[in-house]
A and B are shown apart, each in its own frame.
Chain A
Amino acid sequence: MLVGIPLEAKRTEASKPKECAKEMSAYLQTVAEDRCKMSFSKVFGYFAPRLRSYALKQIGNEALAMELVQDTMSNVWQKAHLFNAEKGSPSTWIFTIARNIRFDMLRKQQNRKEDICSDDLWPVLCEHTADANEVSLDEQITLEQVGGLFDELPEKQRVVLEGIYIEGKSQQEIADELSIPLGTVKSRTRLALNRLKEMLKDHD
């Protein structure tokens, strides 16, 4: 607590947001016109800790928060000439830059993630998602064509696929109905879908 008091006092003393906007605008202008490093360090000194604090709360990771600060402040240095005090305050401008960089980082992060097997989305095709992509997207398949191919499937496989995709039954329900093991339903489904895929490939 003893340590907290002087910090509190220091902060209240420095709190003059409106004058600060004017002051920061002026510094940004000097950066734009003269590439003034001294002015930039004033802007940096004010905004970098605040950006870091905000980013840390949002991202929860020190390294990424620092990366965001560095990228944002680099943009401020390199694009100071794009700042227009008539359109908004320095806070708004810098916050918007940081937000855009945040989305860029989010995109990159997502691209680093390993491919997740879409088990929930495609319970049946899941094991085949890799080669499913090899089927040419240029194929012009009509509903009728798929329907026609369907009839070419072996009877046992067709019954299982019809149950799942037309009647909307679960694999367990079909297993119970046909009095066959669940594993058999699964393997018939897999075989049938593979076969359909092959037929679609050969169709053209």
Chain B
Amino acid sequence: MINFHPTQEQLVDFVEGNCSAALALVVSAHIDMCPKCQKQTSILQASIGNQALSIDSVTDGADLNVNFGSMIAEITSLPAAEQISVSKREAPTIELDGRKFTLPRALGRYVENTGSWSHLLGNLWQAPVDMGEIGKANFIYMQKGGRVPEHTHRGNEMTLVIDGEFSDGVSDYDTGDFILMNENHVHAPHSEVNEGCLVFSIVDAPLHFTSGIARLLNPFSHLFFK
């Protein structure tokens, strides 16, 4: 059951188009998985959208008399988009060790940018996702007993649980949960369920390991958790 959602403020920022591209991606993937946030978002879209594009939204009357030149002609010379029924489109998936995981629609466009899996320390698997400059993203799979050393964050770490469950010493997370961590959080994610746990995660700065010998990894953490 999904217990962790974006805040109302984050949803509003998303609907208005005012959050970072990285946060927008994780929020929109969460919305794909979460009926509650789907409902909330469509309510927000209706009220914010109608308000933004209402008559009164244009405060300077002159704004309405902009010359758009040949824009209409250019647009209407375009062909209509092919009619593809949304339901017919197959859900995107990724594979690890012969196991197929269904991804939320929003992540579908990044499947082809996903590199191959590599095995990391502590029963962890990682596949990097090339997102350009919007952040460093990875699919991370924790096998049963898999554990990420305790760490904090120099920036934001946004995580979406794609499949399975994990705990981090602070909370227990389930499929669909949305988790935003920053420099105020220290945690050590691990999974104890048989099927393990697949998450999608974007960090906008490398992790900073806080405990014991794992601190030796700090200069290299950008190699692991880019």
Residues of A within 8 A of B (CB): 4, 7-8, 10-11, 14-17, 20, 35, 37, 40-41, 44, 47-54, 58, 69-70, 73-74, 77-81, 88-89, 91-96, 98-99, 102-103, 106-107, 110-111, 113, 115, 118, 120-122, 124-125, 132, 135, 137-138, 140-143, 146-147, 150, 165-166, 168, 193, 196, 200
Contacts and interface: CB of A to CB of B under 8 A. Distances in A.
A135 B48 CA distance: 47
B134 A166 contact: no
B83 interface: yes
A50 B57 contact: yes
* Highest count of chain A CB atoms <10 Å: which of B46, B66, B76: B76
Interface in B70-104: 71-72, 74-76, 78-81, 83
Interface string B10-25: 0000011110110011
A77 B50 contact: no
B58 interface: yes
B206 interface: yes
Contacts of A147: 213, 216
Q: List the 5 closest A-B pairs by CB distance, nearest first.
A: A95-B49, A7-B61, A111-B132, A102-B17, A92-B49
B170 interface: no
B223 interface: yes
A20 B54 CA distance: 9
Contact of B133 (A79, A110, A146): A110
Nearest to A32: B80
Contacts of B206: 121-122
A44 to B, nearest CB: 5
A165 B55 CA distance: 59
A48 B65 CA distance: 10
Nearest to A80: B80
Contact of B17 (A8, A58, A107, A118): A58
B119 interface: yes
A165 B76 CA distance: 61
Contacts of B57: 50, 53-54
A118 B18 CA distance: 25
Contacts of A106: 20-21, 24, 134
A137 B65 CA distance: 56
A96 B20 CA distance: 16
B45 to A, nearest CB: 5
Contact of A121 (B45, B132, B205): B205
10 contacts: A35-B80, A44-B68, A70-B74, A79-B81, A91-B49, A113-B133, A122-B222, A137-B118, A137-B223, A165-B218
Nearest to A59: B17
Interface in B31-78: 42, 45-46, 48-50, 52-66, 68, 71-72, 74-76, 78
